[in-house]
Structure 1
Amino acid sequence: MTMWGTVAWFEIATADPDAAQTFYGEVFGWRAVKDEKGAAAGMDYRLITAAGATAPTGGIMATDGAMPGHAVFTVAVRDVAQTCATVERLGGTVVARHEASESGPANAYVRDPAGNLFGLFTPPGGAA
Protein backbone atom coordinates (compact mmCIF):
# COMPACT_ATOMS: atom_id res chain seq x y z
CA MET A 1 0.00 0.00 0.00
CA THR A 2 1.31 3.43 -0.97
CA MET A 3 1.42 6.24 1.58
CA TRP A 4 0.44 9.85 0.82
CA GLY A 5 3.44 12.04 0.07
CA THR A 6 5.59 9.19 -1.21
CA VAL A 7 7.00 8.48 -4.66
CA ALA A 8 4.38 6.13 -6.08
CA TRP A 9 4.96 6.23 -9.85
CA PHE A 10 7.55 7.20 -12.43
CA GLU A 11 7.14 8.24 -16.02
CA ILE A 12 9.40 8.29 -19.04
CA ALA A 13 8.22 10.65 -21.79
CA THR A 14 9.72 10.24 -25.23
CA ALA A 15 9.10 10.81 -28.92
CA ASP A 16 10.13 7.16 -29.52
CA PRO A 17 8.26 4.95 -27.03
CA ASP A 18 9.16 1.75 -28.89
CA ALA A 19 12.88 2.45 -28.45
CA ALA A 20 12.38 3.37 -24.77
CA GLN A 21 10.40 0.20 -24.17
CA THR A 22 13.15 -1.91 -25.74
CA PHE A 23 15.96 -0.06 -23.94
CA TYR A 24 14.50 -0.22 -20.42
CA GLY A 25 13.22 -3.73 -21.01
CA GLU A 26 16.69 -4.99 -21.88
CA VAL A 27 18.53 -2.97 -19.21
CA PHE A 28 16.21 -3.70 -16.27
CA GLY A 29 13.91 -6.51 -17.40
CA TRP A 30 10.89 -4.19 -17.31
CA ARG A 31 7.77 -5.31 -19.17
CA ALA A 32 5.63 -2.65 -20.81
CA VAL A 33 2.07 -3.11 -22.06
CA LYS A 34 -0.29 -0.66 -23.72
CA ASP A 35 -2.61 1.15 -21.32
CA GLU A 36 -6.05 0.41 -22.79
CA LYS A 37 -7.73 3.40 -21.09
CA GLY A 38 -5.11 5.73 -22.52
CA ALA A 39 -5.42 4.12 -25.95
CA ALA A 40 -9.20 4.63 -25.87
CA ALA A 41 -8.54 8.34 -25.24
CA GLY A 42 -6.06 8.53 -28.13
CA MET A 43 -2.87 8.35 -26.04
CA ASP A 44 0.09 6.03 -26.52
CA TYR A 45 0.86 5.21 -22.87
CA ARG A 46 2.51 2.00 -21.75
CA LEU A 47 2.39 0.61 -18.22
CA ILE A 48 5.72 -0.65 -16.86
CA THR A 49 5.95 -3.61 -14.52
CA ALA A 50 9.36 -4.43 -13.04
CA ALA A 51 10.70 -7.96 -13.20
CA GLY A 52 9.11 -9.97 -10.39
CA ALA A 53 6.50 -7.30 -9.58
CA THR A 54 2.77 -7.98 -9.70
CA ALA A 55 1.58 -4.50 -10.69
CA PRO A 56 2.85 -1.58 -12.76
CA THR A 57 4.75 1.20 -11.01
CA GLY A 58 5.56 3.41 -13.98
CA GLY A 59 4.81 4.31 -17.55
CA ILE A 60 6.18 5.33 -20.91
CA MET A 61 4.32 8.22 -22.54
CA ALA A 62 4.61 8.99 -26.24
CA THR A 63 5.10 12.74 -26.68
CA ASP A 64 4.89 12.83 -30.48
CA GLY A 65 7.55 15.53 -30.16
CA ALA A 66 5.09 17.91 -28.43
CA MET A 67 7.32 18.21 -25.36
CA PRO A 68 10.92 17.39 -24.48
CA GLY A 69 11.70 13.88 -23.34
CA HIS A 70 12.02 13.46 -19.60
CA ALA A 71 11.92 10.98 -16.76
CA VAL A 72 10.16 12.08 -13.59
CA PHE A 73 9.10 10.72 -10.25
CA THR A 74 5.49 11.20 -9.24
CA VAL A 75 4.21 11.66 -5.69
CA ALA A 76 0.80 10.41 -4.47
CA VAL A 77 -1.22 13.29 -2.97
CA ARG A 78 -4.78 13.54 -1.63
CA ASP A 79 -5.67 16.60 -3.72
CA VAL A 80 -3.74 17.60 -6.84
CA ALA A 81 -5.24 21.10 -7.06
CA GLN A 82 -4.50 21.86 -3.42
CA THR A 83 -0.95 20.54 -3.71
CA CYS A 84 -0.40 22.65 -6.86
CA ALA A 85 -1.50 25.72 -4.88
CA THR A 86 1.01 24.84 -2.16
CA VAL A 87 3.76 24.38 -4.75
CA GLU A 88 3.07 27.86 -6.13
CA ARG A 89 2.84 29.44 -2.67
CA LEU A 90 6.30 28.05 -1.89
CA GLY A 91 7.89 29.40 -5.09
CA GLY A 92 7.39 26.48 -7.45
CA THR A 93 5.43 26.51 -10.70
CA VAL A 94 2.69 24.38 -12.19
CA VAL A 95 3.61 23.24 -15.70
CA ALA A 96 0.37 21.34 -16.47
CA ARG A 97 -2.60 20.07 -14.47
CA HIS A 98 -5.29 17.58 -15.51
CA GLU A 99 -8.51 16.57 -13.80
CA ALA A 100 -9.35 12.89 -13.36
CA SER A 101 -10.94 11.37 -16.47
CA GLU A 102 -11.68 8.02 -18.06
CA SER A 103 -8.09 7.96 -19.35
CA GLY A 104 -6.38 8.53 -16.00
CA PRO A 105 -6.25 10.00 -12.51
CA ALA A 106 -5.95 13.67 -11.54
CA ASN A 107 -2.32 14.63 -12.13
CA ALA A 108 0.08 17.51 -12.63
CA TYR A 109 3.64 18.33 -13.62
CA VAL A 110 5.25 20.93 -11.38
CA ARG A 111 8.67 22.47 -10.86
CA ASP A 112 10.29 23.15 -7.53
CA PRO A 113 11.86 26.61 -6.93
CA ALA A 114 15.15 25.34 -8.44
CA GLY A 115 13.36 24.29 -11.65
CA ASN A 116 13.34 20.52 -11.12
CA LEU A 117 10.35 18.81 -12.74
CA PHE A 118 8.28 16.24 -10.83
CA GLY A 119 4.75 14.89 -10.92
CA LEU A 120 1.74 14.72 -8.63
CA PHE A 121 -1.24 12.38 -8.85
CA THR A 122 -4.21 11.17 -6.87
CA PRO A 123 -4.66 7.42 -7.37
CA PRO A 124 -8.00 6.31 -8.81
CA GLY A 125 -10.62 6.22 -6.08
CA GLY A 126 -8.59 8.73 -4.06
CA ALA A 127 -6.82 6.05 -2.03
CA ALA A 128 -3.10 5.58 -1.97
Structure 2
Amino acid sequence: MTVPAFNSVAWFEFGTDRPEKVKEFYGELFDWKYVLNTNTPGVTYHSVMPPGAQQPAGGVWESEGGFPNYAIFYVFVQDVAATVERAEKLGAEVLMAPVSDAAGFTFARLQDTAGNHFGVFSTPAP
Protein backbone atom coordinates (compact mmCIF):
# COMPACT_ATOMS: atom_id res chain seq x y z
CA MET A 1 0.00 0.00 0.00
CA THR A 2 1.34 3.41 -0.94
CA VAL A 3 1.10 5.88 1.94
CA PRO A 4 0.32 9.47 0.93
CA ALA A 5 2.46 12.35 2.15
CA PHE A 6 1.25 14.06 5.31
CA ASN A 7 -0.79 17.23 4.69
CA SER A 8 -1.78 16.15 1.17
CA VAL A 9 -5.28 15.62 -0.19
CA ALA A 10 -5.62 11.85 -0.10
CA TRP A 11 -9.36 11.02 0.00
CA PHE A 12 -12.68 12.36 -1.25
CA GLU A 13 -16.22 11.60 -0.24
CA PHE A 14 -19.75 12.05 -1.50
CA GLY A 15 -22.58 12.09 1.00
CA THR A 16 -25.84 11.49 -0.83
CA ASP A 17 -29.43 10.38 -0.56
CA ARG A 18 -29.11 9.10 -4.16
CA PRO A 19 -26.07 6.80 -3.98
CA GLU A 20 -26.98 4.73 -7.03
CA LYS A 21 -27.12 7.88 -9.19
CA VAL A 22 -23.73 9.05 -7.87
CA LYS A 23 -22.12 5.63 -8.35
CA GLU A 24 -23.60 5.24 -11.84
CA PHE A 25 -22.54 8.70 -13.02
CA TYR A 26 -18.95 8.60 -11.75
CA GLY A 27 -18.63 4.91 -12.56
CA GLU A 28 -19.48 5.58 -16.19
CA LEU A 29 -17.48 8.83 -16.37
CA PHE A 30 -14.25 7.54 -14.77
CA ASP A 31 -14.73 3.73 -14.82
CA TRP A 32 -14.81 3.64 -11.02
CA LYS A 33 -15.84 0.45 -9.21
CA TYR A 34 -17.33 0.33 -5.72
CA VAL A 35 -16.71 -1.96 -2.74
CA LEU A 36 -18.95 -2.04 0.32
CA ASN A 37 -17.02 -0.89 3.40
CA THR A 38 -18.32 -2.32 6.67
CA ASN A 39 -15.86 -0.67 9.10
CA THR A 40 -18.43 1.72 10.58
CA PRO A 41 -21.52 -0.02 11.99
CA GLY A 42 -24.80 1.62 11.03
CA VAL A 43 -23.27 3.40 8.02
CA THR A 44 -23.70 2.29 4.41
CA TYR A 45 -20.45 3.30 2.73
CA HIS A 46 -18.97 2.25 -0.59
CA SER A 47 -15.25 2.72 -1.21
CA VAL A 48 -14.30 4.03 -4.67
CA MET A 49 -11.80 1.96 -6.65
CA PRO A 50 -10.31 3.87 -9.61
CA PRO A 51 -9.14 1.77 -12.60
CA GLY A 52 -5.91 -0.09 -11.84
CA ALA A 53 -5.84 1.03 -8.20
CA GLN A 54 -4.90 -1.42 -5.48
CA GLN A 55 -6.59 0.66 -2.79
CA PRO A 56 -9.62 2.93 -2.63
CA ALA A 57 -9.32 6.65 -3.28
CA GLY A 58 -12.63 7.87 -1.88
CA GLY A 59 -16.10 6.89 -0.85
CA VAL A 60 -19.84 7.26 -1.20
CA TRP A 61 -21.76 7.59 2.08
CA GLU A 62 -25.46 6.78 1.78
CA SER A 63 -27.21 9.48 3.83
CA GLU A 64 -30.76 8.12 3.54
CA GLY A 65 -31.86 11.77 3.79
CA GLY A 66 -30.15 12.25 7.17
CA PHE A 67 -28.04 15.18 5.99
CA PRO A 68 -27.68 17.40 2.89
CA ASN A 69 -25.76 16.06 -0.11
CA TYR A 70 -22.11 17.05 -0.28
CA ALA A 71 -18.76 16.34 -1.91
CA ILE A 72 -15.59 17.04 0.11
CA PHE A 73 -11.90 16.23 0.18
CA TYR A 74 -9.84 14.87 3.08
CA VAL A 75 -6.25 15.75 3.97
CA PHE A 76 -4.00 13.03 5.42
CA VAL A 77 -2.48 14.21 8.73
CA GLN A 78 -0.31 12.72 11.47
CA ASP A 79 -2.65 13.62 14.33
CA VAL A 80 -6.32 14.39 13.72
CA ALA A 81 -7.02 15.82 17.19
CA ALA A 82 -4.00 18.15 17.04
CA THR A 83 -4.94 19.28 13.52
CA VAL A 84 -8.53 19.99 14.61
CA GLU A 85 -7.25 21.97 17.59
CA ARG A 86 -4.91 24.01 15.37
CA ALA A 87 -7.69 24.59 12.81
CA GLU A 88 -10.01 25.87 15.54
CA LYS A 89 -7.32 28.32 16.69
CA LEU A 90 -7.12 29.55 13.08
CA GLY A 91 -10.89 30.14 13.04
CA ALA A 92 -12.28 26.87 11.66
CA GLU A 93 -15.51 25.37 12.92
CA VAL A 94 -15.66 21.68 13.83
CA LEU A 95 -18.55 20.04 11.98
CA MET A 96 -17.76 16.49 13.13
CA ALA A 97 -15.38 15.88 16.04
CA PRO A 98 -12.69 13.22 15.57
CA VAL A 99 -14.00 9.64 15.41
CA SER A 100 -12.36 6.31 14.65
CA ASP A 101 -13.77 3.38 12.71
CA ALA A 102 -13.31 -0.34 13.38
CA ALA A 103 -10.20 -0.44 11.17
CA GLY A 104 -8.51 2.33 13.19
CA PHE A 105 -8.88 5.21 10.74
CA THR A 106 -9.57 8.51 12.53
CA PHE A 107 -11.29 11.38 10.79
CA ALA A 108 -13.01 14.72 11.43
CA ARG A 109 -14.82 17.34 9.36
CA LEU A 110 -14.30 21.07 9.52
CA GLN A 111 -15.48 24.31 7.96
CA ASP A 112 -12.74 26.78 7.03
CA THR A 113 -12.94 30.54 7.60
CA ALA A 114 -14.46 31.05 4.13
CA GLY A 115 -17.26 28.53 4.75
CA ASN A 116 -15.82 25.56 2.83
CA HIS A 117 -16.17 22.06 4.23
CA PHE A 118 -13.19 19.68 4.32
CA GLY A 119 -11.99 16.70 6.28
CA VAL A 120 -8.80 15.40 7.88
CA PHE A 121 -7.86 11.79 8.57
CA SER A 122 -5.11 9.55 9.87
CA THR A 123 -4.38 5.85 9.46
CA PRO A 124 -4.00 3.30 12.25
CA ALA A 125 -0.61 3.06 13.92
CA PRO A 126 1.51 0.25 12.42
- The answer to whether TM tops 0.5 is yes
2:30 maps to a residue whose letter is F
Q: What pairs with 1:1-128 in structure 2 (closer than 5 Å)?
A: 1-38=3-40, 41-102=41-102, 105-125=105-125
Aligned partners of 2:96 and 2:28: how far apart in 1?
A: 31
Per the TM alignment, residue 101 of structure 1 is displaced from its structure 2 partner at its CA by 3.1
- Could you say what secondary structure the match of 2:27 adopts? helix
**After superposition, what is the alpha-carbon deviation per residue over 1:29-54, rounded to whole angstroms, capped at 9, x for unaligned?**
1101111323xx12110000111222
Whichever structure has more strand as a proportion of its residues is 2
2:24 maps to a residue whose letter is T
Change beyond 3 A, Cα 1:65–1:103:
farther
1:68 maps to a residue whose letter is P
2:112 maps to a residue whose letter is D
In the superposition, the TM-score normalised over structure 1's length comes to 0.90
Equivalent pairs counted in the alignment come to 124
- Could you say what secondary structure the match of 1:124 adopts? coil
- Could you say what secondary structure the match of 1:54 adopts? coil
Unpaired segments ≥5 residues, structure 1: none
Per the TM alignment, residue 57 of structure 1 is displaced from its structure 2 partner at its CA by 0.7
**After superposition, what is the alpha-carbon deviation per residue over 1:6-38, rounded to whole angstroms, capped at 9, x for unaligned?**
011110110111211111101111101111323
Aligned partners of 1:22 and 1:14: how far apart in 2?
A: 13
Identical columns (%): 36
**After superposition, what is the alpha-carbon deviation per residue over 1:43-100, rounded to whole angstroms, capped at 9, x for unaligned?**
1100001112221110000111111111111001111111111111001111012322
Change beyond 3 A, Cα 1:104–1:20:
farther
2:7 maps to a residue whose letter is G
In the superposition, the TM-score normalised over structure 2's length comes to 0.91
Q: CA RMSD in A?
A: 1.4
Is the CA contact (8 Å cut-off) linking 2:38 and 2:44 kept in structure 1? no
Is the CA contact (8 Å cut-off) linking 2:17 and 2:69 kept in structure 1? yes
Unpaired segments ≥5 residues, structure 2: none
